[in-house]
Structure formats: structure tokens, C-alpha cells
Structure 1
Amino acid sequence: MSLTQALENAHAILAAADAKVEKLRNIEPYLIDLSLRENPVGSNIGQTLQDKLSILPKLREFGFKNISLGTLDYAMPDELEVDDDFMMHLRDHHVDMTGCFAFTALGIEAKDGTFTPDPSQLKLASYGVPNTVHEIYLSEIGMQGLYDLETLRRSLPASVRWLHEHMRGDNGAPPRILINIVDGCDAFSQNLEATCSILSLLAELPIEGITIEDDRGTYLPFQVGAYIAVIRQFLPPPFKVLVHIHAGAGFENASVIEALLNGADGIWAGLPKRAAIIGHASIGELIANLARVGNPHVQSYRLDQLLPLATGFQQLDDMGPVANDLPILGHNAYRLTLTSFRQLEDRFMDLVPETIGGKYSYRVCPVVSDLPVIAGRLAEITGKPAKHFHDDVTRQMVRLIRRDLRGGLRFDYDEPEQLLKLYERAKGFFPHPGSSASEAHLATQTQRSS
């Protein structure tokens, strides 16, 4: 292949990638925040009624228009949860629930036409929640013990009809109903024909759209994208298509991007990373990644509050710190270990921490940290400006770190006590740091040490 042909191919390949970025840049994401339910599900502590009452206005202030108040289709419905208390409190105190959702389960229609609403549906109507994510299962394992396909096909229209008859939507409008296929990825991979037949049925019902989950987080991103593309064959716009992806195998955010590129409108998730298993593709991460590509629609949210709000919610749920090495939202996400890792505001695909309410700090790693990082970390520890720590001293600190490691000595130099000890050792090489005499002294000491 000639260089000319190879370059033409390269331009074509990158043009296809640019087109995907452009699609992400222009999408107006449909988001349902689940910080009041998804995050405490995976928490060691959970949320009380007072916690929820303090969280809801913060979600509103951040900019969320769609908020899930909780889940009503849990096991042992006779034993109420905090979610029930929360929704009853909002109802009894006449709190505006516009844009609010609750999760419910399918009611069942018998062969004789008798319909029995699920307890969660009865609660939904009683609590006055205007919208719902209505959950079904479609894989063989998921349906086992609940219903067969014939019962599901018969019950779906009846259940949706019951919701319309017994719910009052936002400002008196019809309720917004999203059908969530809890085992959606399993259903597509194991039961395609039946799944498509249900999609065809859903296309005839008065619903807002559907959502699917990768509830164990085990499907590859391109598989999730393919399932969304199939859904769009049956449910074109204006039907909404959402996903909810858990972090079982570490694909979660890539799977969301693939879903968006293949026709999904958005996600439902919590703002922090915490979720039912070991995390999920959170709304906080998606908003940050859309901001990264220059999506203007996420500017409607309080981006400068994203990081403190998300981490604050997770700290509340766990009564402990957020994992340090969590991408985007973790403590170390914007602690520089090497100056060249700094993201820049005017560089494509970078997202500076100030955009989401954070700021850069410093973390000393013995193998790689350079002079500005060491000076920056010393400034954090001492409160003195970074320029106070002269290059000749910080350079000598790097030299001493290398000598320590070569000598079999291992220290956590990021710890304040260890870094200050190292600083004092390095200062001992220089009578007057910053002077030309100190550089000459350094050269002498280096020759002696070698």
C-alpha cells in the first residue's frame, strides 16, 4: 500500500471516530438520578428518612429534572422500608414531586381477564408519585417463578393500563412509564425471538420508553451497543431508551458510551460511583465524560458542584471516604504524580478538575515524581508557597529517593513525616539553596557518592 493510500485510509478511520465524538457532543442526555436508592443499596450504612429529605433538594439544585425517589418492588412488601416513609412524607407534606419516579413491578392478568396489581403499584398510587420505572424480566432464569411468556404478554398491556388509570402524572399529565427489562442483556443473548416479540408489543403501548440493565456488569461494551441497536429497530424515537450498567467487569462507562452511540438516550443511575455490587456507570461519571467532549447540554447542571456533591453523597452513605483511586471522583484522580499528566483546559479530551468542582493536588511517587510535584506536595504539607522550595533542594530529594531504593530502603515519601525528613536530608547538601555555590556543592557531592 502506498503512503498516499495509507494516509487516505487513516483520515477515513479518524473521521469515523470524529463522527462518534460529534454524536456524543450533541446528544441531550435523558437522566434519571438514583442517588436516593442505587447508592444506599450498595452501602454498608444506608440512608435514613432525614438523609433523604436533605438529599432531595440538593439533587434539584444540581439540576436534575428526573429523580427516582426509591423502589417499591422489594421483597416482603408488608415490611416497609425508608423509601416508603420518604414518599409518604412527601405526600403528606405536599412536597412537589414533579419529575419524580419510583420503581414498581408488573401486575398480573389471569387467563379469565382478572387483573391483580402488584403491591408496589398500589403503594405508588397511594403515595402520589407521578411516574414509574416498571420492571419486567425476559430471560428464562429471570422469569422463573414469576410468570411465563404468555402471562407476561397478557399482563403488560393490563399493567400499563392500570397505571394510567390510577396515577396522576406531572401537573396532571399522563404518567411517564418506562419499562425496565432488569435482565435485558441476558434476555437478548439467551432469548432473542421472545425479547423482540415483547419489544414489538411495547411499541404499541402508551409508555415513555424502555430501559435495559447489565445487572451483573459482565457484558462487553459492543454487546450492549448491539442490544440497543436492536431495540431501536422496534422502538424508534420519540420512545426513550436508557441503560443501567453495573461495574462487575470494569466495562461500565465504555458500555454506556457504546449504548449512546447506538441510539440510547441516557441512563438511570446514582450521582456517585457506589452501587449495588462494586459500583456502576454513574451519572456523575457520564456528565463529566460528556463535558470532556464539549457537550453543551450538560452545562445545564451545576458542574462546579459535581465532584463535591458526588463524593459527599457517597461519604454519607458509607460513613467513610471515597476510594482514593476511583477515576474522576476519587481523591487521587486529580493528585498529580508527574507534571506531564496534568490535564489542560484547551486540550482536546482533557477535563480540568475545576470544571467539576475540584482542583489539582500532588502525590509523591518515588519512581516518577518530578520537581514541581515534590515542591507542590511540600507546599500542601507546610502551607508555604511551592516557590519556597528551591529546585536544587527538590532535585537532590529526587536523587536521594533513587539512592534509597537502590540501597534497598523503601519509604512512603507521600506521607508528610517522611517527605519532611527527606527535605531536611536534601537541605543538608546546600548551605544556601538557590545559589550558584549550592549547584557546585551538589556536583561535588554527586561525584563523591558515585
Structure 2
Amino acid sequence: MTLTPQALERAHAILAQADAKLEKLKDIEPYLIDLSLRENPVGSNLGQTLADKLAILPKLREFGFRHISLGTLDYAMPDELEVDDDFMVHLRDHGIDMSGCFAFTAMGIQSVDGTFTPDPSQLKLRAYGVPNTVHEISITRAGRDGQYDLDTLRRSLPASIDWLRTNILGDDGNPPRILVNIVDGCDAFAECPEVTCSILDLLAGQPIEGVSFEDDRGTFLPFQVGAYVAVARSLLPPPMKLLVHIHAGAGFENASVIEALLNGADGIWGGLPKRAAIVGHASLGELIANLARVGNRHVQDYRLDQLLPLATGLQELDDLAPVPDDLPVLGHNAYRLTLSSFRQIPGRFMDLDPRSIGGAYRCRVCPVVSDPAVIAGRLAEVTRRPASDFPEETTRQMIRLMRRDLRAGVRTAYDEPSQLLALLARAEQA
């Protein structure tokens, strides 16, 4: 079959669409709110102490985050304080700079007669001196859970925003920056799109920084998230910000964030590590790394050389356990080569050399696939001798022995130092 000029023209047109998306990702200046002080400890078996939080905050600033959430104030049982409360009080009482900082709050309620009752979280925000807030609402019946009906939501939301602007002193004496977060956003678009659009239209006329919505269980497909963002963007024109927060329930999270950015989202909020309220989320660490992968110039504003050690260090602090080895981007095995051809090369299209985010390549021996260069690299790690000390004749013999062992029904973890050295000795004696 002959390739026609028309077929080649169609192919180029399709590829051009992908190139246009890459250019958009290269140009976007992501609006990021870091939640390493809250999102990550929520999913931790241990949580964070006041001392932990005081040590983390300057590290986040040093890395380059301009928007940082100090914690959540709209939790259940507001009379029983959390470490987040102690943290914000400490910052206030010791005069520690909270510029660019946020706390999560819930909407106050305005009655039919016009009486407004602020939520306890709003009163705490004022008392603690936090200058900005992510203000949370729900739209679906299940999300509202009897707290308020839709008429009350429509009546109370502008009143709650007005209360915040009247009572909260923002950065440098300005009004507070308010982002309204729709906790059940994806569910709302799926279940009641007309109501959801009407709430977004209401918010478009409010004096707020922007709007955020969540896939709080991580169950919506990327193209659904992209469609919901496109609808929201059509109702919330710039400069109003549009953010998403995506959990990892079904493994779509990072793809969903990319779809969100391509469809008009300005950024995301989340923790720097992967750890989150459930099995994980689309983390800031992963997004920053992936934007660096496509050549986004704005992520150079962050300390990229500290990304990997900072993200993994924070997760290890939260769990007192290692980051899962096989976690993409941030995991220990993400940059342990099992085969030389898997190496990501600096400057090659779509590759992200681990050294650019503070990591390094290492080697992992897998008996089915590892080649001589990987085996020599792992031997160098174990023995602290140069890889050149292990000639290809020896490493190839090690491959032969691993294959023979498996064919004989012998399964051995050759990556373990003692087993690797024993295999080396066998190869040298052969």
C-alpha cells in the first residue's frame, strides 16, 4: 500500500494537535497551593506534631512555594482543637510571617431574615490572623448532608464571602484571597450540572481569587475531569483562578491534572509528597516534575534540585517509614535501572534526568532482563569499586547463571548484596 500525500497530511495534523498541547503545558505558570502541612499527615498513620510543622514551614518557603496552607479549621468537633490550631496560634503569638498562607474554612449561614452566623472555622481564621482561605462548600445532596439546602447555599455563599472580606486582614493589608472549593465538584457536575453551573455563575460575580473543585475519591476518568474544567472555565473567565484537587483512588490522578491544565485550569492544591487522605493524590511534587519534563520554564522558579529529597523526606517524616519503592517519579525504584535502555537522558524529548530533581540513577538486578551494564553498576554500588572493575565477560556469565538457575526452578533475589556477590564468585570461577 502506497502512503499518499493526503494520509501523511492527516498524520501531521494529528501530531500537530499533540504539539500544541505540549506548548500549552510549557507556557502555563502553575498556581500551586502547598498542603504538605495538612494533606500528607491526614493520610499518615502518625500525623504531625507542632514541632514537625514548625520545621516544615521554612523548608516549603525555601523550596519556592508562595501559597501555603497552614491547615484545616473546618473539621468535625471544632471545640476539640487540633495541632493545626496550635500551629497557627504559635505563628501568631511569635510574630512568624504568614504572608501567602491559607487555612481551610467552611461557609457561614445566612438565615431567611438576613442574620448571618459565621462558621466556627471563620472565627478561628480571624482569631489566628491567617490572611487567606480556601472556603469549602458542597453542592450535591449527599455532600450537603442536611447541613443546608440549595436556597441556603445560594443565600449564604455571598454573605460568607462578604464576612471574610470584612473581618480578615489579608497580605500587606489587602483583602483576603479567597478560593471557594467545591468539595464534591466532580460529583456535582455529573449529578446536577445545571445547579453546579448556576453556583459557578454566582461565584463568577464574587470578589474572590478563584474556585477549586475536587475529585475527592479519585474515581472520575481524565476526560471527565477535563470536561468539567472546560465548563467551569467557560463560566469563570480569567483572571479568576481555577484549581483542581485529585485523589488517586483509581490511578488516574496525574493524567487528570494534565487534562485539567489543558482545559483551562490554572493549577492544583496538594501536598508535595504522594501521601494523601486515601491511597495518594496528584501531588505537587509529581506535577512540578512532569512540567519540568515537558520544558516548562516557570517551574525553574522552584528549587528543582531539592524536589526529590524534600518530597521523600516529608513523606518519611509523616510515616516514619520509607516511601514505597515503586512509586513513579518519587519512589526509590523510579530511578533504579533494570535495563540500560530505560535510562532517561538529559535533553532527550520527554525524558526527566533524576539529577535535575535532586536524584541519581542507581541499578537494580532483575534476573530476567538486566544487562551487563546494569549488573556492573549494581556491583559498583555494593562493592564501592568502579563499574569498570567488572568486565563484560564476567557480567555476561552472571546473566547465563541467572537464566540457568531459573530454568532449574531456583528463584533468587540477586539484587540483595550477599546473593549478588555469591553470583559474582560463581561467574568468576566458571
TM-score class, shorter: over 0.9
Residue 324 of structure 1: aligned partner? 325
**Distance of 2:201 and 2:23 partners within structure 1:** 31
**What 5-or-longer segments of structure 1 have no aligned partner?**
430-450
Q: Distance in 1 between matches of 2:76 and 2:97?
A: 28
- Where do residues 12-51 of structure 1 align in structure 2 (5 Å cutoff)? 12-51=13-52
What is aligned with 2:128? 127
Q: Establish whether residue 102 from structure 1 lines up as the match of residue 97 from structure 2.
A: no
SS of 2:102's equivalent in the other structure is: strand
CA distance in 2, matches of 1:252, 1:272: 14
**Greater Rg, structure 1 or structure 2?**
1
Aligned twin of 1:434: none
Deviations 1:188-232 (A, max 9, x none): 000111111111110111100100000000000000000010011
Distance 1:95 1:233 in 2: 39
Matching residue of 2:153: 152
Matched, 1:393 2:403: no
Q: Give the Cα separation in 2 of the matches to 1:278 and 1:285.
A: 15
Q: 1:299 and 1:409 mapped to 2: Cα distance? A: 49
User: In 2, distance between residues paired with 1:198 and 1:426?
Assistant: 70
Residue in 2 aligned with 1:113? Answer: 114
Letter in 2 for 1:62: F
Whether the 8 Å CA contact 1:140–1:191 is kept in 2: the answer is no
Residue 140 of structure 1, CA deviation: 1.6
In structure 1, the partner of 2:363 is: 362
Partner of 1:59: 60
How far residue 3 of structure 1 moved from its aligned partner, in angstroms, is 2.2
- 2:143 aligns with 142
Which residue number in structure 2 is paired with residue 296 of structure 1? 297
Query: C-alpha distance in 1, partners of 2:3/2:272?
Result: 50
List structure 1 runs of 4+ shifted beyond 2 angstroms.
Answer: none
Residue 2 of structure 1: CA displacement? 5.2
Q: Note the 1:82-231 alignment, pairs <5 A.
A: 82-231=83-232
3-state SS in 2 of match to 1:333:
helix
Query: Structure 1: how far apart are the matches of 2:81 and 2:144?
Result: 25
* Structure 2: distance between partners of 1:226 and 1:25: 21
SS of corresponding position for 2:411:
coil
Amino acid at match of 1:184: G
Q: 1:354 and 1:66 mapped to 2: Cα distance?
A: 26
d(CA) in 1 for partners of 2:164 and 2:41?
27
What amino acid is aligned across from residue 228 of structure 2 in structure 1?
Y
User: What SS is found at the alignment partner of 1:316?
Assistant: helix
Deviations 1:243-273 (A, max 9, x none): 0000000000000000000000000000000
Letter in 2 for 1:176: R
Determine the C-alpha separation between the residues in 2 that align with 1:123 and 1:178. Answer: 17
Determine the C-alpha separation between the residues in 2 that align with 1:409 and 1:50. 50
Q: Render the CA deviation track for 1:23-73: whole Å, top value 9, x for unaligned.
A: 000000000000000000000111000000000000000000000000000
Kindly report which structure 2 residues correspond to 1:400-415, keeping only aligned pairs within 5 A, or say none. Answer: 400-415=401-416
Matches within 5 A, 1:255-404: 255-404=256-405
Equivalent-residue separation in structure 2 for 1:305 and 1:423 (angstroms)? 36
Per-residue displacement from partner, 1:317-336 (whole Å, max 9, x unpaired)? Answer: 00000000000000000000
Which residue type is aligned with residue 277 of structure 1?
I
DSSP-derived class of the 2:71 partner? strand
Aligned residues: 429
**Equivalent in the alignment of 1:3:** 4
Identity %: 75
Structure 1 letter corresponding to 2:246: I
The secondary structure found in structure 1 opposite 2:135 is strand
Matches within 5 A, 1:426-445: 426-429=427-430
RMSD: 0.7
Whether 1:237 aligns to 2:212 is: no
Alpha-carbon distance in structure 2 between the residues aligned to 1:128 and 1:174: 13
Aligned residue type for 1:411: T
- Of residues 384-393 and 308-317 in structure 1, the stretch that sits farther from structure 2 once superposed is 384-393
Following the alignment from structure 2 to structure 1, what is the Cα–Cα distance between the partners of residues 76 and 141?
20
Q: TM-score, normalised by structure 1?
A: 0.95
Query: SS in structure 1 opposite 2:413?
Result: coil
Amino acid at match of 1:147: Y
- Cα distance in 2 for partners of 1:157, 1:343 equals 50
Shift of 1:144: 2.2
- Secondary structure of the residue aligned to 1:332 is helix
Write the distance in 1 (CA, Å) between the matches of 2:217 and 2:34: 20
1:246-303 Cα offsets, whole Å, 9 max, x none, are 0000000000000000000000000000000000000000000000000000000000
Match of 1:129, SS state, is coil
Q: Which runs of 5+ in 2 are unaligned?
A: none
| Aligned AA (1:142) | G
Question: 1:409 and 1:38 mapped to 2: Cα distance?
Answer: 44
CA distance in 2, matches of 1:95, 1:424: 60
Aligned twin of 1:448: none
Amino acid at match of 1:361: R
Which amino acid in 1 is paired with 2:151? Answer: E
Letter in 2 for 1:345: P
